[in-house]
Structure 1
Amino acid sequence: MCEDRPAPRPGPAGVPALVVFDCDGVLIDSEPISLARLTAGLNRIGVAIDLETVRARFAGTSMASIMGHIAADYGISAPEGFVEAVKADTLRAFDRELRAMAGVAEAVAALGLPACVASSSDPVRLRHSLGLTGLLPLFEGRIFSSAEVPRGKPFPDLFLHAAARMGAAPETCLVIEDSVPGVTAARAAGMRVVGFTGGGHWGHDRAGADLAAAGAARIFRDYRDLAGLLRAA
């Protein structure tokens, strides 16, 4: 749990009072791994879907939302234990392959601004992933999951929850996201948002046209550009 805090104040020239990071595909290069494991799991239960479709439709969304779409669109309900099995398979793959985004630890440490994580991942996966990549100490006590709110991304609930717990007004927050549902959720929360396309799953569109169309004010690929981007945002 995260204790309530005094409200952060915006810095000079509109510098954000709070920077909100998505986790998967933003802090850690997890999406190529997790999307591949999800695709394999769906194929095993008879869902005829490929990796690119899974990426396009489900990157940045919660497992609960994903399984709802699978049932509605493919007429296949996951067998008991399926979600837990996919999660366990994904965590095993993380143990072997997961890495932090290049330069992210240094960029976060140098922010000089309050920061938190707001992710569609469940709390166990979040802490496991951040711990594996050495990023957990940078966000300890400031990690929020979609499991804590009624609706996940693309709804604004998670970002509004994170801002409230951190004591920041939504309009003073800047969100860093890598998915259209995440950008949509941030904009619905009344927050500024920038898109990150440095993850391994963004080979299809490094310019981030989809993120810009969803409302991302700027797009970046390299964490060495983060400080300048925050000043410009």
Structure 2
Amino acid sequence: MMTRQAVTHLICDCDGVLLDSESIALGVLHRELLPLLPAWPDADEAPSLQEQRSQVLHDAIANRLGMYTDVLLSEVDLEFELGLEAAQMERIHATVALACSEQAQPVPGIVEALQAIRLPRAVASNSDAPRIEAGLKRCGLYPQFAGRIYSGHDVAHPKPAPDVYLAAAAGFGVDPARCVAIDDSVTGVRAAVAAGMHVLGFTGVAHDRKAMARRLREAGAHQVFEDMKQFPQLICELIWLR
């Protein structure tokens, strides 16, 4: 088992860690895709079946949050036979990005947590850089990460590949093992684990915290927490790790 090193740098996912935008993306995607579900026979006589199908679609989207939006749309399109065309995917992608950049709020407690954590910090996200920057500026967090924003769109492979986390560590000029990553998705946790970082899984804005905690641990998160009030203490323990 790899020996953990004391951490010196913090790398944060954006959506669901810094910005409370996952629920916004989920709502927009569900609203846009629900009308495209193929009709079930006798659905008018059994509306509960359509409600069940709607919930299955909702869960399928929720379980893929953290992926590239285009990849998420492709997978959901295939699973539910939606028949999405390229123009529709582009429009939905743009709608999600606009909603997240205009409506996102800071994750509860993140502002105070970051004030208490003195480590150099960066963002590593699968979102594109303009969306990340717009959301951070809206929420007053941009100055803390300016010049240290890394997008999965700018590396060879997005999460769950480790590239974007490795790029953030390289930007600091430090060993990835000296970095602690915080992510809220299975996709992101797998990426940070593959990068060789200490990984904190955050469930505070998940629609099902208990289920997500289990999934993040299974993905390799070393610790999982749900309240940002815990964040500074977890970082403090890692700083003094021996």
Relative to the length of structure 2, the TM-score reads 0.81
Displacement of 1:217 in angstroms is 1.2
Taking the TM superposition and a 5 Å limit, the aligned residue runs for 1:33-72 are: 33-46=24-37, 50-56=57-63, 58-70=64-76, 72=78
Looking at structure 1, the residues matched to 81 and 156 of structure 2 have their Cα atoms a distance apart, in angstroms, of 24
Match of 2:173 in 1: 167
Post-superposition shift, 1:44?
A: 4.3
The answer on whether the counterparts of 2:12 and 2:124 sit within 8 Å (CA) in structure 1 is: yes
Once the two structures are superposed, the pairs formed by residues 103-114 of structure 1 within 5 Å of their partners are: 103-114=109-120
Aligned match for 1:203, one of 187, 208, 211? 208
1:25 aligns with 2:16: yes
Task: Tell me if the contact between 2:117 and 2:235 (Cα under 8 Å) persists in the aligned partners.
Answer: no
Deviations 1:186-211 (A, max 9, x none): 11111110111111x34342771111
Aligned partners of 1:101, 1:205: CA distance in 2, in Å?
Answer: 18
Separation in 2, partners of 1:148, 1:183: 19
Q: What are the ranges of 5 or more consecutive residues in structure 2 without an aligned counterpart?
A: 39-52
Q: CA distance change for structure 1 residues 71 and 206 in 2, over 3 Å: closer, same or farther?
A: closer
Letter in 2 for 1:216: A
Distance (whole Å) between structure 1 residues aligned to residue 100 and residue 162 of structure 2 = 28
Letter matched to residue 17 of structure 1: T
In structure 2, the CA distance between the partners of 1:98 and 1:114, relative to structure 1 (3 Å rule), is same
Report how many aligned residue pairs link the two structures: 219
Q: Which amino acid aligns with 1:162?
A: A
| Change beyond 3 A, Cα 1:165–1:182 | same
Q: Is the 8 A contact 1:103 1:223 kept in 2?
A: yes
Q: Secondary structure at the match of 2:108?
A: coil
**TM-score, structure 1 as length reference:** 0.84
Unaligned runs of 5+ in 1: 1-12
The aligned runs of 1:116-155 (5 Å cut-off) are 116-155=122-161
Q: Looking at CA atoms only, which structure, 1 or 2, has the larger radius of gyration? A: 2
Q: CA deviation at 1:97?
A: 3.7
- SS of residue in 2 equivalent to 1:50: helix
For the residues of structure 1 that align with 2:115 and 2:62, how far apart are their CA atoms? 30
Shift of 1:146: 0.5
- Secondary structure at the aligned position of 1:24 is classed as coil
- RMSD, aligned CA: 2.3
How far did residue 46 of structure 1 move?
4.4
Query: Could you list the per-position Cα deviations for residues 66-117 of structure 1 after superposition, in whole angstroms to 9, with x for gaps in the alignment?
Result: 2442455455563233343223323443466421012212221331111100
Provide Cα deviations, 1:156-182, integer angstroms capped at 9, x if missing partner. 111111111221211111100111111
The one-letter amino acid of 2:28's match is R
Is it true that 1:156 corresponds to 2:162 in the alignment?
A: yes
8 Å contact from structure 1 (residues 35, 51) kept in 2: yes
1:16 to 7, 13, 38: 7
